Amino acid sequence: MSPPPADGPTAGCDGPESRPAGAGEYTRDPSADARDDAPVRLDGVSKRYEGGGGSVVALDDVEFRVDRGEVVAVVGPSGSGKSTMLNLLGLLDAPTEGRVLLRGRPTAGLSDRATTDVRRETIGFVFQDFHLLPTLSAVENVALPTTFLPDDATARAEELLERVGLGERLDHVPGELSGGQKQRVAIARSLVNRPDVVLADEPTGNLDRDTARDVLAEFRRVADGGVGVVAVTHDDLVTEYADRTVELVDGVVRRE
């Protein structure tokens, strides 16, 4: 999963529910189940890629949801569709068929601006390679997603770093941090905008076993705070910390 596009300047920080409806805006589908409060859901989603050799099916009629307070591990062999699924959940790509819904609302037809806004407001990302800027301190890296918002997020960033056990590393740059500490900075960054769901791509891939357990325990605490967590992984250790494990094989959900 590639990092989401950098957010551009915004007129304000109102959530999608407070913006007036209009072309390309984030509006409720009257057919959506009003009781569906899942942070993100895939409804009959398929994704095909066209190439010179024909059509490649990456996902085939997938149904998936994550609820608040839940950790879901998505496993499967390489090429099974895990990264495609994460890209769709993160609004980094669009399905060929089916719907991606956030809190029961469809995301199809959103303008680029509205997609950027809703992604920033509802989804946090954690990457295998951390994606921290090397010249910024831990606090500055955590606050980075709020750069174009009007309020100063320094206090929020410091609070999150305290929460993940890095209160004494606030001013350290990534080169002064261990792999586990970098990943905890990344987790704090994913929470800075108070998202509904955190998407993690191979979050333990570059960590030793003991450090991986510490990071997974942190994800567990994130979920216990009411955030949904989806972790795409090849690491069986992740499944020990998950409430559910979903297996993808050839773009199809084989086990849940």
Tens digit of pLDDT for each residue in 44-61? 999 999 887 788 999 999
Report, in angstroms and rounded to the nearest whole number, the Rg of the chain calculated over CA atoms.
Answer: 18
Tell me the mean pLDDT in the region 209-235: 94
Tell me the mean pLDDT in the region 68-97: 94
Neighbours of 210 (CB within 10 A): 9
Average pLDDT, the chain: 86
Among 4-13, 16-25, 76-85, which is the least confidently predicted range?
16-25
**Band (15; pLDDT cuts 50, 70, 90):** very low
Tell me the helices (H) and strands (E) count for the chain, helix number first.
Answer: 7, 10
More confident residue, 149 or 189: 189
pLDDT digits (tens, 9 = 90+) for 143-168: 999 988 888 999 999 999 999 999 99
Question: Over 80: is that where the pLDDT of 248 sits?
Answer: yes
- Tokens 């499944």 belong to 239
Task: Give me 227's structure tokens.
Answer: 């955030």
The torsion angles phi and psi of 237, rounded to 5 degrees, stand at -60, -35
**Band (109; pLDDT cuts 50, 70, 90):** confident
Is 247:223 a contact under the CB 8 Å cutoff?
Answer: no
Tell me the mean pLDDT in the region 97-122: 91
Residues of the chain with pLDDT > 70: what percent? Answer: 86
Question: Over 50: is that where the pLDDT of 42 sits?
Answer: yes
Neighbours of 135 (CB within 10 A): 10
Instruction: Look at residue 254 in the predicted model and tell me its pLDDT.
Output: 86
* Nearest Cα residue to 151 out of 4, 7, 6, 12: 12
Task: Give me 97's structure tokens.
Answer: 């068929």
Q: What is the largest CA-CA distance in the chain?
A: 54
Instruction: Look at residue 36 in the predicted model and tell me its pLDDT.
Output: 64
Q: Which residues on neighbouring strands pair with residue 171, listed in sequence order?
A: none
Instruction: Look at residue 239 in the predicted model and tell me its pLDDT.
Output: 95
- Tokens 């109102």 belong to 14
CA distance 136 to 217: 26
The CATH homologous superfamily of the domain defined by 66-96+110-255: P-loop containing nucleotide triphosphate hydrolases (3.40.50.300)
